[in-house]
């Protein structure tokens, strides 16, 4: 059965952007819960990711359909490979947002517990990275992806600050140990989302230029 390759690739791009928008929105909700203590919406993120899981399956199936029923040229193959990787990373970001929502809701049960200010900074930066990365995918903007790739260390630095805060906080306030552990888990998940956003940026560079930049300085 013949297919219209151009139409299929256009639809795949639309599907990825739609999935990215949903994942961005979920991440934005948990960031607002961290920064503004807006907890009710976080409850929805904690319990609702079936739509993202279904989109993950639909995008993978669409890619396999194109590979099976057409003869894509090199640039189209790069697009399909990049889409498969980006799709996987977006699904994992959705899972991490759900995990963060659970941790944030646990923290909301202890109103006397104060989050370190650097966690809000880290959450905001993570949200920005994902938004910038998906915008770069939409525009096939490799240069923006290089900037994102170079900025990944910022989240690593903030995570180290939070770890240092935690090692000082627990001896002073033993009763806050559970809250500190939840905070560290949130920071780790945010750092991992940053890594995945960087992976997506690298895949966009591959899509546009055919260059493999993973594990390299660009």
Q: List the CATH number of the domain containing 138.
A: 1.20.58.220
Q: How far apart are CA 213 and CA 180, in angstroms?
A: 36
Supply the angle between the helices 117-139 and 177-209 in degrees, to the nearest 10.
Answer: 20
Q: How much of the chain exceeds pLDDT 90, in percent?
A: 64
Q: How far apart are CA 140 and CA 178, in angstroms?
A: 43
| DSSP assigned state of 176 | G
| Both tokens assigned to 57 | 């399956």
> Largest alpha-carbon pair distance within the chain?
69
Q: What pLDDT sits at residue 12?
A: 97
Q: What pLDDT sits at residue 112?
A: 62
216: pLDDT confidence band, cut at 50, 70 and 90?
low
| DSSP assigned state of 111 | T
Number of DSSP helices (H) and strands (E) in the chain, helices first: 8, 0
CB-CB neighbours of 160 under 10 Å: 13
Q: What is the dihedral of CA 22, 23, 24, 30, to 10 degrees?
A: 110
Q: How far apart are CA 91 and CA 113, in angstroms?
A: 31
Has residue 112 been placed in a domain? yes
Has residue 166 been placed in a domain? yes
When divided into structural domains, the chain yields a total of 1
Q: How far apart are CA 210 and CA 174, in angstroms?
A: 52
Has residue 172 been placed in a domain? yes
Has residue 216 been placed in a domain? no
131: pLDDT confidence band, cut at 50, 70 and 90?
very high
C-beta separation of 122 from 59 below 8 A: no
Which of 28-42, 73-87, 113-127, 160-174 holds the top average pLDDT?
73-87
> How much is the average pLDDT of 64-83?
92
Q: What is the dihedral of CA 213, 18, 25, 99, to 10 degrees?
A: -70
Has residue 175 been placed in a domain? yes
168: part of which helix (H) or strand (E)?
A: helix 153-172
Q: How far apart are CA 110 and CA 108, in angstroms?
A: 5
Has residue 205 been placed in a domain? yes
Q: What pLDDT sits at residue 152?
A: 83
**Residue 147: which domain range?**
5-209
DSSP, collapsed to helix, strand or coil, labels residue 98 as helix
The per-residue pLDDT for range 76-121, each reduced to its tens digit, is 999 999 999 999 999 999 999 999 999 988 888 875 667 888 999 9
| Residue 88 vs residue 43, higher pLDDT | 88
Given a cut of 80, is residue 22 above it in pLDDT?
yes
Phi then psi for 212, rounded to 5 degrees? -95, 115
Contacts of 180 (CB under 8 A, 6+ apart): 166, 169, 170
């Amino acid at each position: 059965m013949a297919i219209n390759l151009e139409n299929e690739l256009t639809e795949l791009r639309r599907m990825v952007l739609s999935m990215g928008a949903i994942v961005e929105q979920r991440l934005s909700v948990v960031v607002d819960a961290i920064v503004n203590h807006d907890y009710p919406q976080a409850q929805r993120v904690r319990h609702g990711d079936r739509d993202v899981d279904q989109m993950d399956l639909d995008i993978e199936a669409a890619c396999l359909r194109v590979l099976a029923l057409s003869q894509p040229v090199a640039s189209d193959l790069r697009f399909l490979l990049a889409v498969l990787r980006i799709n996987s990373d977006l699904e994992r970001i959705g899972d991490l947002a759900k995990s963060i929502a659970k941790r944030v809701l646990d923290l909301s049960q202890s109103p006397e517990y104060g989050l370190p200010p650097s966690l809000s900074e880290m959450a905001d930066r993570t949200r920005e990275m994902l938004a910038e990365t998906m915008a770069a995918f939409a525009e096939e903007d490799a240069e923006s992806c290089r900037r994102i790739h170079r900025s990944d260390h910022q989240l690593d630095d903030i995570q180290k600050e939070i770890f240092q805060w935690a090692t000082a906080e627990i001896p002073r306030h033993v009763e806050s140990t559970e809250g500190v552990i939840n905070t560290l888990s949130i920071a780790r998940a945010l750092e991992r989302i940053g890594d995945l956003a960087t992976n997506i940026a690298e895949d966009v560079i591959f899509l546009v230029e055919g260059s493999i930049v993973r594990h390299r300085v660009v």
